[in-house]
Amino acid sequence: MAKWLPFVITKKDMRSQFSSDMQYENWIAGQLRTKKIMKVRKGLYVLVDVSGEPLATKFEIASKITDDAFLCYHSALEFYGAANQVFNTITVGSESRFNPFTFLGIEYVRKQTKNDYGIAYMEQAGVRVTTLERTVIDCIDDIDACGGIDELLGALGQIRILDERVLLGALDAYSCVLLYQKAGYILQHYQSKFGLSDAFFDECKRHLTKQVKYFLKDEYNEVEYNSEWRLMAPKNLISRIWGDY
């Protein structure tokens, strides 16, 4: 008999409370039969309330899909309350592979991430998630995974504080010239808001090469050369930031 129940149930978390695998499996079957828990996917269950609704959030569920699962990209923005839209997809970073699945109308999908820098465990929420700073850098790197350029700009408008040391740590973990260009270009528009130092942008520029690259190839009809960041960048970025486009 289980002595305690987490909101999200996995065998790894619960096995020590049972004398054998069979006893655990029998207990799970009984809990499902009496509708005290609900199956999310194989090996993953969620505790429900008296009305049959899950007691765990979609963010808690995502963090338990694999041992190393964490929220990232737009889903991390949602967790932090910085997203302008709520998606029916949760993006889960994980080295361990899993097939996408849908639970109660929410699709959980795995995205291969490029490094393990800046992943935090929010104990009170029971959630593993990229730090806000890494989330911003991730979203600048893959704007589509953020929900598009306007969603990214909207999120930056919602965020209050960013630590430039953590931003640089995330950039260093990627070690990508184009990302230094894109991050410097975007964040320069928010320098005073986030109190980013000139040294932050000098460090971004230190990684640039002579090669000119595109900030986005298809999002904007009109682009112009930005000599400071050696980018072909949209002409109307400022108007999009202020919402008058």
Q: Do both 90 and 206 map to the same domain?
A: yes
Question: Structural domain of residue 43, as residue ranges?
Answer: 8-47
Q: Do both 88 and 117 map to the same domain?
A: yes
Q: What is the model's pTM?
A: 0.91
- How many distinct helices (H) and strands (E) make up the chain? 12, 12
What does pLDDT average to over the chain?
91
* 104 part of a folded domain: yes
| Bridging pattern class, strands 127-130 and 119-122 | antiparallel
Share of the chain above pLDDT 90, in %: 78
Q: Do both 218 and 149 map to the same domain?
A: yes
Q: Do both 32 and 63 map to the same domain?
A: no
* 31 part of a folded domain: yes
Q: Do both 31 and 95 map to the same domain?
A: no
Q: Do both 43 and 68 map to the same domain?
A: no
Q: Do both 147 and 89 map to the same domain?
A: yes
* 219 part of a folded domain: yes
* 213 part of a folded domain: yes
More confident residue, 5 or 42: 42
DSSP 3-state percent helix, strand, coil across the chain (nearest 5): 40, 20, 40
Give the count of domains, the chain. 2
Q: Do both 167 and 223 map to the same domain?
A: yes
* 191 part of a folded domain: yes
Q: Do both 38 and 87 map to the same domain?
A: no
Query: Which positions ≥6 away from 163 have C-beta within 8 Å?
Result: 133
Per-residue pLDDT at 240: 64
Q: Do both 43 and 143 map to the same domain?
A: no
Q: Do both 153 and 32 map to the same domain?
A: no
Q: Do both 13 and 97 map to the same domain?
A: no
* 2 part of a folded domain: no
Question: 């700009």: which residue's tokens?
Answer: 153
* 189 part of a folded domain: yes
DSSP track, 181-245: HHHHHHHHTTHHHHT--HHHHHHHHHT--S--EES-SSS-S-EEEETTTTEEEETTHHHHHHT--
Per-residue pLDDT at 62: 98
Per-residue pLDDT, averaged over 199-207, amounts to 97
Per-residue pLDDT at 89: 97
Per-residue pLDDT at 244: 44
* 197 part of a folded domain: yes
Q: What's the pLDDT tens digit per position in 149-172?
A: 889 999 999 999 999 999 999 999
Where does 44-159 have alpha helices with state H? 58-63, 73-80, 132-141, 143-146, 149-158
Residue 245 has pLDDT above 60, yes or no: no
Per-residue pLDDT at 222: 77
Residue 1 has pLDDT above 60, yes or no: no
Q: What's the pLDDT tens digit per position in 98-136?
A: 999 999 999 999 998 889 999 999 999 999 999 999 999
Residue 218 has pLDDT above 80, yes or no: no
